[in-house]
Structure 1
Amino acid sequence: MTQPYTEAQPQRAEVDALKGAVVLDFGTNWCGFCRAAQPLVDEALAAHPNVRHLKVEDGPGRPLGRSFRVKLWPTLVFMRDGQELGRVVRPQSLASIAQELTGIDSA
């Protein structure tokens, strides 16, 4: 089963200090767009087992999402060693996610 978005959030400084490849996945458990995209995200991540996936519940008053200027859900932020290298908003294809994953996993 797909892991849910978690209310507990790391601080921005913690995220910026993460080493290696990380995908921040901003959304909510009740969001239809998030639910529709989840099979694509899961399939793309399956090919990149070394990439850390953090599902963060977003919404008003959630500082981590605001610090990344998240406007729509889901928003996937692709990072390596604390630096944002790409993002996909409301992914509709496996290829769009896979391309960004390849960029952070091979950097």
Structure 2
Amino acid sequence: MAYTAIFTVNPPEREKLDAESGWLLLEFGTDWCGHCRAAQPAIAEALAAVPQIRHLKIEDGPGRRLGRSYRVKLWPTLILLRDGVEQVRAVRPLQASDLLAYWRPLLVG
């Protein structure tokens, strides 16, 4: 799945994400966040290199329970899940190469 450009304001429930199969990248942030905007080229480039990862952008903020359930504190926070289980997270990434260095070893196993 390709890079997703738009943050969803109605994300799935945590229980549904925990039951997902395969690779899923959760990106928590907002469209007005400067750090989130700065990270978008790196995220898009990294996802283009690993098409087996699905991408879900989730708008986060006060009163949004999903981000709290994953202990998100800074934006953007990227959480890579495999079969609903967190494998690795990255906070405020700026380089696609950094993301791929985290993801690629996991994808081969």
TM-score exceeds 0.5: yes
Give how far 1:75 is off.
0.2
Is 1:44 the counterpart of 2:46 in the alignment?
yes
Normalised TM-score (structure 1): 0.93
| Structure 1 residues 104 and 20: CA distance shift in structure 2, 3 A | farther
| Structure 1 residues 23 and 2: CA distance shift in structure 2, 3 A | closer
Structure 1: 4+ residue segments shifted above 6 A: none
2:4/2:56 contact within 8 Å kept? no
For structure 1, the residue ranges without an aligned partner over 5 or more in a row are none
Normalised TM-score (structure 2): 0.92
Count residues in correspondence: 107
Distance in 1 (alpha carbons) for counterparts of 2:106 and 2:66: 21
How much identity, in percent, do the aligned residues show? Answer: 52
Match of 1:87 among 63, 82, 89: 89
1:78/1:104 contact within 8 Å kept? no
Alignment map for 1:61-80 (pairs within 5 Å): 61-80=63-82
Residue identity opposite 2:85 in structure 1: Q
For structure 2, the residue ranges without an aligned partner over 5 or more in a row are none
Root mean square deviation, CA, Å: 1.4
1:40-95, Cα deviation, whole Å (9 max, x unpaired): 00000001111110000000111110000000000000110111011000012222
